[in-house]
Amino acid sequence: MKPSPGKVPLIQALIDYRDKGYRPFHMPGHKQGAGQSRWFKALLGKEIFTLDLTELPGLDDLHQPQDVIQKAQRAAAQCFGAEESYFLINGSTVGVQAMLLATAGPEEEVWITRQAHRSTLAGLILSGSRPRYLPVPIDPVYQIPLALSVTEIQKRLEAALKTPNEGSLVRGLLVVHPNYYGITSDLSAIRQITREQNQVLLVDEAHGPHFYFHEALPISALEAGADVTVQSWHKVLTSLTQTALLHRQGVRVSKERLRRCLMLLQSSSPSYILMSSLDAARWQMQEEGRTRLEQTLELAEKARELINQIHGLSCLGQEVRQFCSVGDWDPTRLVIKVSGLGLTGYQAADILRQDYGLQVEMADNCNLLALITLGDDQAAINDLVEGLKDLAARWYNGKDKAKNAPWSMKAYPEPEVALTPREAFFWSRTRNCFLKEAEGEISAELICPYPPGIPLLSPGETITRAVIEIIEELQAAGATWQGPADPTLKKLEVLVL
């Protein structure tokens, strides 16, 4: 199916400009592909270069949209029920940073789930606001982070707001919906709490832009009443990598302030190829999103059923709802526990890639995560299941080896915030300290096992014995890390007080 011209305003404007045949004496330097190397043009196809344009008459300006970009963004807002929607060409990262910067300033507090993406840390550094972290419970079987407890949020927030001086500094709550594993909190209940306490609800919905289009999926952030939400369309929809959308509704976050924050943070030379892919993905989801997601859900459910029949493996399902903090889950995410084979997720992912040509989204100590999206078909599911069958046949010996897994986590330790991330980031003096001797020091760097991307330490946090032990255990299990200056983690960078 091909859209009519009025359905994709930005794409149509690019086509119209190209077809007029203007002789370009403007950026970009490849001049619509004329100067591009032959091999690269052959690799990508010449058409893409003819549409790689810049801010020209008739093509509008992302930072002051009044024409086709405005129309494309309004179409996205209408599609999702937002008051305003903004194209992001620096990924969800820039959206998370912008909504934090628009919500809280120096010394003001934002309550944040500990499983927030590291872009949240950047937003805290930029804004100078102080984080108050909310604990993340752990699934004892799959060893994955679950969701924020509504009861815990209410208890802590009410206590803080009743405290003189402290309550006046709280500006809002940032929730991840869903987390990397597809698990969500009861977002509608959280919205009720923040509304009663007159607090802003910010949602990192990077992994959930498809929720709006099918009733079998969790409720979308806007439907639940979020003030601002950020979605990575490239993660599970069909726009190009690095594209995302930010949606706003209500009066708690200023439209003008949010616009200024995005203008401050986004590139002044936005890619029209990236923006047009958002226009195309929005049109596709409006036209056939539910039908395509129905097929995706059927494929995922069949894969889950078949994987659960393989000895030594299990695939997360409806049973995750038994935990009181869990509001819902995304069935298109296959969380596959492989520790019953005596393997870590890291080892299993390497074997699948090297021996079977299968690349999963991520691995952790116990699991693999495979995403089922609009781009999958039955053949893809067959390949995944057959690869997992053969993997299990090679490693399973009739006895579940999960109990012998090298490491398990009962809970993420709650951080002790000594300084704001901004204060720690700009601290004048730091030094290197052996990990074993770092207890009581204040971290100068981010220490984050990735995946799943939940920080164990952020700048400004006190290093505790519990954190040191978890770092040592994860390092021994083969975890990969983001943030540390020393990738071996024998030493940490700490502040000199």
**What are the residues whose beta carbons fall under 8 Å from the beta carbon of 247, sequence distance 6 or more?**
76, 77, 80, 82, 84, 85, 86, 221, 222, 228, 229, 230, 231
Confidence of residue 397 (pLDDT cuts 50, 70, 90): confident
Would you state the pLDDT for residue 261? 98
**Looking at residue 463, what is its pLDDT?**
97
Q: How far apart are CA 393 and CA 251, in angstroms?
A: 57
Q: What is the pLDDT of residues 143-173, one digit of tens each?
A: 999 999 999 999 999 888 888 676 678 999 9
Q: How high is the pLDDT of residue 406?
A: 47
Beta strands in 372-440 (DSSP E): 416-417, 430-434
Buried b (16+ CB within 10 A) or exposed e, 390-414: ebbeebbeeeebbeebebbbeebbe
407 has a pLDDT exceeding 60: no
Q: What's the chain's average pLDDT? A: 94
pLDDT at 495: 98
Handedness of CA 100, 149, 182, 237 (dihedral sign): negative
Q: Which of 93, 140, 139, 135 is nearest to 114 (CA)?
A: 135
**Phi-psi region for residue 250, left (φ > 0), alpha (ψ -120 to 50) or beta?**
left
pLDDT digit string, tens, across residues 219-260: 999 999 999 999 999 999 999 999 999 999 999 999 999 999
The single residue listed with the structure tokens 């939940």 is: 454
Instruction: Specify the pLDDT at position 6.
Output: 84
Q: Are 300 and 331 in contact (CB under 8 A)?
A: yes
- E-strand stretches of 130-278: 130-134, 170-176, 183-184, 200-204, 228-231, 244-248
Closest by Cα among 76, 93, 95, 94 to 85: 76
Higher pLDDT: 399 or 267? It is: 267
Confidence of residue 359 (pLDDT cuts 50, 70, 90): very high
Statement: residue 405 has pLDDT above 60: no
Q: What is the mean pLDDT of residues 113-142?
A: 92
pTM, entire model: 0.95
Give the Cα separation of 34 and 272 in Å (integer): 18
347, burial (CB in 10 Å: exposed 0-12, middle 13-18, buried 19+): middle
Sorted by where each starts, the structural domains of the chain and their CATH numbers stand as 5-50 (no CATH), 68-274 (3.40.640.10), 290-404 (3.90.1150.150), 416-495 (3.90.100.10)
What gap in Å lies between CA 464 and CA 177, rounded to an integer?
29
Residue 404 has a pLDDT of 47
Contact 336, 315 (CB under 8 A): yes
pLDDT at 133 over 80: yes
